[in-house]
Structure 1
Amino acid sequence: MSTAALDEIQELIQKLSGELGDMSEAASRHIDDLHVAVNNVASHVLAIEAVLSLVAQKVEVDEAEAIKWIRDKTAAYAEDSSESSAAEGITKSLLGKEE
């Protein structure tokens, strides 16, 4: 193999290496952005849970109606509608009726 061919291969490898580095940096930035977004959503959900929990202490909330609402809204996605979902457990927790 000629020196020119080896130089060309080396140049292509260096170019590929640089592009892979750029892709890695972009992926890392996207992961960081997703992490921030997930933390944002989690913070909002926690704040809403806090407020609703306090409201539920002052206002009568029918647990069965809340569970029915959850099951109605998630029936199309539920594998087994007879099993409790995480949302149902959280509902019970917010209403102070943890099992």
Structure 2
Amino acid sequence: MISGGDGCIAGLSNFAPETASALAEAARKEDFGLLREYQMRIDRLMAVYDVGEQFIPIIKKAMVLCRVPMKSVCARPMQEATEGETRRLEQILKEEGLLP
């Protein structure tokens, strides 16, 4: 945003909407300290994209874990997140305070 970005479609905003919204608000207010803080959090949350080979099942599982009322089922050929992927995802979300 500081470099002139005008927006994006962020998969993270599906399970961490408060963080994405706060980042945008900090940018609008030109609060660079807060903008940096939220960007660093987003950078850490980007680890969810490394959890599984396909990111859609991982984002869906993150949404379910964060209590979005939905199912984590994916259309074939995609498979739901495995138990191992779910554990790794839970760890990331807990580290960022998104899960207890």
Q: Using structure 2 for the length normalisation, give the TM-score.
A: 0.26
* Higher-Rg member (1/2): 1
Which structure is richer in relative contact order (CA contacts within 8 A, separation 6 or more)? 1
Q: Using structure 1 for the length normalisation, give the TM-score.
A: 0.26
